[in-house]
Structure 1
Amino acid sequence: MRGLAAVLLCLMIASCGQVPPAQVPGSSTPTSDSVTTATTTPSIPAPLPPSSAPLPPTLPTPSRALDPSVKTVRGTVSAGVESGCTILTAPGEQYLLLGADPAIAVAGAVVEVSGKADPGAMTTCQQGTPFHVSSTKRG
């Protein structure tokens, strides 16, 4: 079956490049010796005129309050085991705070942060679930 498909493919490719045979001398059609080929450049289509149809209305961006992945967590801030890492310990969970206000999220402070947990984020802090903070307040 494969061999037959390969043969058919070769025949199709070979037939695409065939040149018509030379005409018999004295006939009304020119022979291959007297045929000149003209080169043509492909035409580029003209750009379409601007549409007069109105654009569809844009949808407003939903607020963070409507985004189900945004959450607010309250807990106590502590320094992480790695330098520069800030951890929020909440009931039953530890979060690695990414982007929290450093003036508010200091070790020992009770804070409330809003943002999104990102368990797949790569960090060097080695503890807590990474949490991208959008707002920080004393809590």
Structure 2
Amino acid sequence: MRGLTAVLLCLVLASCGQVPPPQVPASSTPTTDTSTPSIPAPLPPSSVPLPTTPPLLPTPSRALDPGVTTVRGTVSGGVESGCTLLNTGGEQYLLLGADPAIAVAGAVVEVSGRADPGGMTTCQQGTPFHVIRTQRG
């Protein structure tokens, strides 16, 4: 009886491990997938209206924007090459983006822009001032 149980157990276990082999196409020519990829459904329309005009970019004509300051002084070169300073008599500003044809050493100019007291520069001199308008003063 024990022998019969052992044989039956072996047959059951042997049949559990068998997996049918994968089917291979009869031709050896590669096939390409021609099925259409699934496209996600469109999103529902948003209740927020989209802008119809492009955003306004900062221009010299917007000099009255909050935070824009106009200062006047004499231009000088900094101790580092390529650094341009504006001395107002009480403050010294590092001019960033000033018109190089106008902001030359010795010239009296008026610039509008935004001071950036915490800004880091390689010039290490004066308060960084991002210029949006330069004119002879």
> What's the TM-score once normalised by structure 1's chain length?
0.58
Q: Greater CA radius of gyration, 1 or 2?
A: 2
Gaps of 5+ in 2: 1-39
Structure 2: how far apart are the matches of 1:48 and 1:126?
52
Amino-acid identity (%): 81
Please state whether the residue corresponding to 1:119 is helix, strand or coil. coil
Pick aligned residue for 2:42 from 40, 47, 66: 47
CA distance in 1, matches of 2:69, 2:123: 22
Task: Name the CA distance, whole Å, in 2 between partners of 1:130 and 1:54.
Answer: 39
Which residue does 1:90 correspond to in 2? 88
Q: SS where residue 63 of structure 2 aligns? A: helix
CA distance in 2, matches of 1:123, 1:57: 37
Among 126, 131, 137, the alignment partner of 2:129 is 131
Aligned partner of 1:110 among 108, 111, 114: 108
Per-residue CA distance 1:79-122 (angstroms, 9 max, x = gap): 00111100000131000000000010000000000000011211
Q: How many positions carry a matched residue from both structures? A: 95
| C-alpha spacing 1:125/1:131, structure 2 compared with 1 (3 Å) | same
Structure 1 unmatched ranges of 5 or more: 1-44
Partners in 2 of 1:66 and 1:56 — Cα distance? 27
Shift of 1:57: 6.4
Alignment of 1:1-139 (within 5 A): 46-50=41-45, 55=49, 61=56, 64-139=62-137
Give the CA deviation at 1:65.
3.3
Whether contact under 8 Å (2:94, 2:128) holds in the other structure is: yes
Determine the C-alpha separation between the residues in 2 that align with 1:57 and 1:88. 40
The CA deviation at 1:50 is 3.3
Q: Give every structure 1 segment of 4 or more consecutive aligned residues whose post-TM-superposition deviation is greater than 6 Å.
A: 56-60
Q: Determine the C-alpha separation between the residues in 1 that align with 2:95 and 2:75.
A: 9
TM-score, length of structure 2 as denominator length: 0.59
> How big is the shift at 1:58?
7.1
Change (3 A) 1:120 1:49: same
